[in-house]
Structure 1
Amino acid sequence: MEFFRYKNKLIPERGRLLISEPFLPDPNFERTVVLLCEHNADGSFGFVLNKPSVLKVNEVMEDLTGMENLVYVGGPVQQDTLHFIHRNVRIENDVVITDNVFWGGDFESLLTMCDTRQLSSDDIRFFLGYSGWGPGQLESELEQESWIVCDYVTNQLLFDTEPQLLWRKALDNMGGRYSVYSNYPVDPRLN
């Protein structure tokens, strides 16, 4: 496949991160980290991990009364939909994203696990909307060097890193020139 000659040579796939280039001009994705939940011939989708909203999940979904997690802006597509990723326990009908990280699942099972404290608020992230790309669109953006593909994905990085530090930490974990990118100023004119 000729088009997989990207800057860091990794291809996008489920469980990898898309890290926006330091000066990506799109305000929806400026300094974002996206967890890819699917990538195939039909397109790609995932969730922005480092854009918390001001809403709590129990304000968005009344059934989640015991949860006070902030809801994240998963991306610009269908922001009227609620999604979630979780770790450490399986929920009926969830999808394995990467080692011990799962996407979605049966909502009634989620409610039961939250009510019985089988799933703690530290082990789940909620998103309004998602990030999506049509067939070939992500590959085109990778060829334009809008994204860096990262395969260093851990539970700690996804769930325990403060959102405002995630972009920098993800790049820094990659080492080499990516560590240098992590220290680029938001506006290079201010350097």
Structure 2
Amino acid sequence: MEKEFQDLFQIRHNNDRVEVGKVLIAEPFLEGKYFNRSVVYIVEHDDSGSVGFVLNKPLPYTASELVKELDGVYFPVYIGGPVERNQLYYIHRRNDIPDSVRIADGIYWGGDFKAVTEMLQAGKILQEEIRFFAGYSGWTETQLDNELKENSWMVGTISADVLFTVPNSGLWEQVMSSLGGKHKLWANFPEDPILN
């Protein structure tokens, strides 16, 4: 029985490849304020490195409180990662924002900030159509590969609907569970088993 229990928490690299539009799912015991039980949406991945945004770490501020141009826009802002934390980034569902980068069907990254500001002020972008991030998560060309080999991350998928509507508190559990098998058990494992 002890061997079976050890196998249950044996982390093995899943074979999914990191690609733009996929998510990195932190293994259950990964530590750190940015990446503990985090889900990171990948918006850039090539030979020079990777960029993504942590989806499930909200800040106690709204866009209006952090950026003066967004006065009156009370949408939540998330910790995107440890890089350039003083910069605001966004992903959205609007194909009419100039200079946006298409990430996947119905999902875009960035775009003309002035146009975004005007559309938000006019009420033309709804909260469920855009997500704001302070900072981003970045990896050099070999850094993420090494972290995957160390089994710090699993690779999964996420739909646009889930990306923009799932409550933050349950996102890690939901995407971990979606990997199936023992990952469903991991999703329900307490963050601090001593307190269970």
TM surpasses 0.5: yes
SS of the residue aligned with 1:117? coil
| Cα displacement (A) at 1:89 | 3.8
Paired letter, 1:19 = I
* 1:106 counterpart (101, 109, 112): 112
Q: 8 Å contact 1:23–1:30 — kept in the other structure?
A: yes
Which residue of the partner structure matches residue 21 of structure 1?
A: 27
Which residue of the partner structure matches residue 134 of structure 2?
A: 128
Normalised by the length of structure 2, the TM-score is 0.89
CA distance in 2, matches of 1:90, 1:138: 32
2:61 is equivalent to residue 55 of structure 1: yes
For structure 2, the residue ranges without an aligned partner over 5 or more in a row are 1-11
Normalised by the length of structure 1, the TM-score is 0.92
Q: 8 Å contact 2:21–2:104 — kept in the other structure?
A: yes
1:49-88 equivalent positions in 2, closer than 5 A: 49-88=55-94
2:171 is equivalent to residue 174 of structure 1: no
SS of the residue aligned with 1:114? helix
| Cα displacement (A) at 1:88 | 4.2
TM-align CA RMSD: 1.4
| Cα displacement (A) at 1:176 | 1.9
CA distance in 2, matches of 1:179, 1:140: 25
Q: 8 Å contact 1:52–1:70 — kept in the other structure?
A: yes
Which residue of the partner structure matches residue 9 of structure 2?
A: none
User: After the TM superposition, which segments of 4 or more aligned residues of structure 1 sit over 6 Å from their partners?
Assistant: none
For structure 1, the residue ranges without an aligned partner over 5 or more in a row are 1-5
Give identity over the alignment, percent: 41
| Cα displacement (A) at 1:190 | 4.0
CA distance in 2, matches of 1:74, 1:91: 21
CA distance in 1, matches of 2:40, 2:177: 16
SS of the residue aligned with 2:31? coil
Number of equivalent positions: 185
